[in-house]
Amino acid sequence: MTHGSPAGYAARMLRAVGRRGLFVVAAALLVAACAGSSPLPSFDPAMPCGGVDRQEMKGAYPDLEARIPAQIAGQAADSRDSGRFCSKATLGTLWNAGIREAEFGGGIWQFDPGGGTSLPGMQLSVFRAPGLTAQLLADEYRAGAGGTSRVTIVSSTNEQVNGRPGFRMNLLNGDSHQAILVWPSADGTVVQVVIAADVDESKVQAAVAALR
């Protein structure tokens, strides 16, 4: 995800996050989008990971990218791509649960700050792997958030998300108010995630409704 945009948003999203897991890496996709970094090397999704932590490019898994909505609140995504996490360093607690590779598709949205000092944004992602559940993925996000010195978990609850059992965390990351929602897709083939930073709840719910 390499579209250029203000780097300050990336700093707020990941300030002082030291743990290498999906909590970090998923938000790190925002860093790539915000900093306008060079594209990651292309790879063959049919081949093994080959010892790398993460692989990512546009079109790696078209079916997963197709699950990401084209627009949220009337605005198109700033970037969309897909890839896979391949190591304990990036899978975090999922590795401990026996998952050795997880494929993902994702998109990033950034919104006008509306006169505020922060640049609101969201990341929508879908994940799949044999044995992956919403519970396991939510546990990884909790572990990642709990392992960072500047992140405070304001609340962490089980709740219905888009009519299905899911999970929500509300976080304070420095001066950024963030939310992470995790729940299964309607067809049960992927786990869906919304990460929002300094975004109105109406946009969060629009993102949830757009993921099926």
**Spatial distance between the Cα atoms of 61 and 56, rounded to a whole number of angstroms:** 10
Q: Which domain holds residue 100?
A: 7-42+50-210
Is residue 30 in some structural domain?
yes
Given a cut of 70, the residues of the chain with pLDDT beneath it are 1-40, 113-119
Q: DSSP characters for 128-193?
A: E-TT--HHHHHHHHHHHHHT-SSEEEEEEEEEEETTEEEEEEEEEETTEEEEEEEEE-TTSS-EEE
Question: In 3-state terms, what secondary structure has residue 13?
Answer: helix
| pLDDT value, residue 20 | 40
Is residue 129 in some structural domain?
yes
Is residue 1 in some structural domain?
no
> Does the pTM exceed 0.75?
yes
Is residue 165 in some structural domain?
yes
Is residue 113 in some structural domain?
yes
Is residue 2 in some structural domain?
no
Q: For residue range 61-96, what is the model confidence (pLDDT) as tens digits?
A: 999 999 999 999 889 998 889 999 999 888 889 999
Number of domains in the chain: 1
